[in-house]
Amino acid sequence: MKTVKPIETIIIEKIKRAILNREFAPGMQLTESVIAEKLETSRTPVRNAFKKLELDGYIVLKPNRGAYVIQPTVNDIIQAFELRIELEGVAVKFGLANVEQKDLDYLKQLIEKELDAYTHEDLTEYTSINKKFHMLLAEKSQNRYVIEFLSRIIDQIDVYLMMYNVIDYKSKRNNKSLKEHLEIITAIESRQVDLVTDALQRHLHQTLDSIKSITEPYQSLEDMF
């Protein structure tokens, strides 16, 4: 028997997909009444979905004004990346000594899966695997704050980059990223903090350099639902 998704989940998935696919413009207002009417539901699940979407970093809720798609600037992304670079450096410092051979094998397996996702144009899987790769050293640090903060900043940056069309399976940058991941593994095998930090910083700065503004056609809220 097919499980029916709760209406709140459907709303969340539709809005996330529309934002990540650049169908909803940054800064676009999302109206409770329009979504509720289109889905023939009350405003309560829409309101609950909005709260979850704000927590996940997709929209902002402005008092007495409503819900709006986030509108990150290039400077927002740069600042987020600068923080991420520092956090990954801390993860190297605290986690490198705890890396075992099984962890290196795991990273190599991730690269194979990453290549497969890239080949099959599976952007969702690609970003998921990429996050696992970058979280390894944080997890080995056994510092819950490093793990929590890095996980959250990576998720937020992924949303930003998709909105700016930087994460794209067709991008030559993502193909080059696989090679850089291999270089990071080689650095980890050396067990030298400076080498790993340098490899990670080069990799992240290359992505930062890829940030660009794009113009895409956007849909109206009525057309989406």
The pair phi, psi for residue 189, each rounded to 5°, is -60, -25
Task: Return the CATH class of domain 7-71.
Answer: mainly alpha
Map out the domains of the chain as residue ranges: 7-71, 74-209
Q: What pLDDT, on the 0 to 100 scale, is given for residue 85?
A: 94
5: its two tokens:
């998704």
Query: Hey, CA dihedral for 207, 210, 215, 217, is it positive or negative?
Result: negative
User: Residue 122 pLDDT > 60, yes or no?
Assistant: yes
- Helix (H) or strand (E) run with residue 118 in it: helix 101-119
Q: Maximum distance among all alpha carbons in the chain?
A: 59
Residues 6+ apart with CB under 8 A from 101: none
Domains 7-71 and 74-209 share a fold: no
Beta bridge partners of residue 68, listed in sequence order: 29, 60
105: its two tokens:
């094998």
Q: What pLDDT, on the 0 to 100 scale, is given for residue 168?
A: 56
**pLDDT tens digit sequence for 130-153:** 999 999 999 999 999 999 999 999
Task: Return the CATH class of domain 74-209.
Answer: mainly alpha
Q: What pLDDT, on the 0 to 100 scale, is given for residue 174?
A: 56
Q: What pLDDT, on the 0 to 100 scale, is given for residue 213?
A: 47
Rounded to the nearest 10°, the torsion over CA 115, 119, 124, 127 is: 30
**pLDDT tens digit sequence for 9-60:** 999 999 998 888 888 888 999 999 999 998 889 999 999 999 999 999 999 9
User: Residue 214 pLDDT > 50, yes or no?
Assistant: no
